[in-house]
A = this chain, B = another copy of it.
Amino acid sequence: MVKTNPGRFFEDYHVGQVIAHAVPRTLSGGERALYHALYPARHAVYSSDAFAQSCGLPGAPMDDLIAFHTVFGKTVPDISLNAIANLGYAEGRWHRPVWPGDTLRSESEVIGLKENSNGKSGVVWVRTRGLNQRGELVMDYVRWVMVRKRDAAAPAPETVVPALADSVAPRDLVLPEGLDFTRYDFTLAGEPHRWGDYAVGEVIDHVDRVTVEEAEHMLATRLWQNTSKVHFDATLREDGRRLIYGGHVISLARTLSFNGLANAQMIVGLNAGAHANPCFAGDTVSAWSEVLDKAETAAPGVGALRLRLVAVKPGAVPGALRGEDGKYRGDVLLDLDYWALIPL
A38-B219, A219-B37 known; A26+B49 contact, CB < 8 A: yes
* Residue in contact with A32 in the complex, picked from B30, B193, B233, CB distance below 8 Å: B30
Which parts of A180-224 form the interface with B (CB within 8 Å)?
187-191, 193, 197, 204-211, 213-216, 218-220, 222-223
Query: Known interface pairs A211-B235, A214-B213. Does A188 touch B33 (Cβ–Cβ under 8 Å)?
Result: no
Complex interface: stretch among A137-145, A255-263, A266-274: A255-263
Contact partner of A29 (CB less than 8 A), chosen from B29, B103, B133, B234, is B29
Q: How far is the CA of A232 from the CA of B208 in the complex (A)?
A: 9
Which of A17-25, A121-129, A171-179, A333-341 interfaces with chain B? Answer: A17-25
- Given contacts A4-B260, A211-B232, A34 and B24 within 8 Å (CB-CB): no
Q: Of B22, B187, B206, which one neighbours A188 at CB under 8 angstroms?
A: B22
Task: Give 5 CB contacts A-B under 8 Å.
Answer: A26-B60, A36-B225, A51-B103, A233-B284, A234-B282
A234–B211 alpha-carbon span in the complex (Å) = 6
Determine chain A's interface SS by DSSP, over half rule: mixed
Q: Would you call A40 an interface residue if the criterion is a C-beta within 8 Å of the partner chain's C-beta atoms?
A: yes
Does A105 make an interface contact (CB < 8 A)?
A: yes
Nearest-neighbor residue (CB-CB) of A236 within chain B: B209
Say whether A235 contacts B284, CB under 8 Å: yes
CA of A188 to CA of B133, assembled, Å: 13
Expressed in whole angstroms, the Cα–Cα distance for A101 and B215 within the complex equals 28
Interface size on A, residues (CB 8 A): 77
Q: Is A47 an interface residue (CB 8 A)?
A: yes
A101 near B49: Cβ-Cβ < 8 Å = yes
Q: Which B residues touch A39, using CB under 8 A?
A: 222
Given that A188-B20, A209-B229, A211-B235 are contacting pairs, would A47 and B25 also be in contact in the complex, using a CB cutoff of 8 Å?
Answer: yes
Binding site for B on A (CB under 8 A): 1, 3-5, 20, 22-26, 28-34, 36-42, 44, 47-51, 60, 77, 100-101, 103, 105, 133, 187-191, 193, 197, 204-211, 213-216, 218-220, 222-223, 225, 227, 229, 232-235, 240, 242, 259-262, 282, 284, 314
Which single residue of chain B is at the shortest CB-CB distance from A206?
Answer: B4
Contact indicator B38/A24 (Cβ below 8 Å): no
